[in-house]
Amino acid sequence: MPSDIPLTDGLAPDDASGLTDDELRALLARAKAAGDEPLRRLVASFVTLRRLTAEALTLVETQYGAAAVARVPALSHLKRLVRRER
């Protein structure tokens, strides 16, 4: 795929709903069993990004209040994704 095409092109909107912890554990186990190092690193990166996102949202809510997150559509969407995926 050319690097100038966004990775989200061609994905259905619900593809962004994320993976549950159980799905991630299964995917990580499959990657390890198959020796698929790029997939293992991708899962680890995703888990790290999700955790950092949750921490950042908590920080924003603590400093500015939950209403600040609710007013920003992107932050509200992130909050729903992070909470659903835990």
Rounded to the nearest integer, the mean pLDDT of the chain is 82
Higher pLDDT, 61 or 12: 61
Residue 54 pLDDT > 70? yes
Total-model pTM: 0.69
Q: Is 2 exposed, middle or buried (0-12, 13-18, 19+ CB in 10 A)?
A: exposed
- Tens-digit pLDDT profile for residues 2-40: 566 665 566 565 555 677 888 888 999 999 999 999 999
Residue type, 67: A
Contacts of 14 (CB under 8 A, 6+ apart): none
State the pLDDT at residue 31: 96
State the pLDDT at residue 14: 59
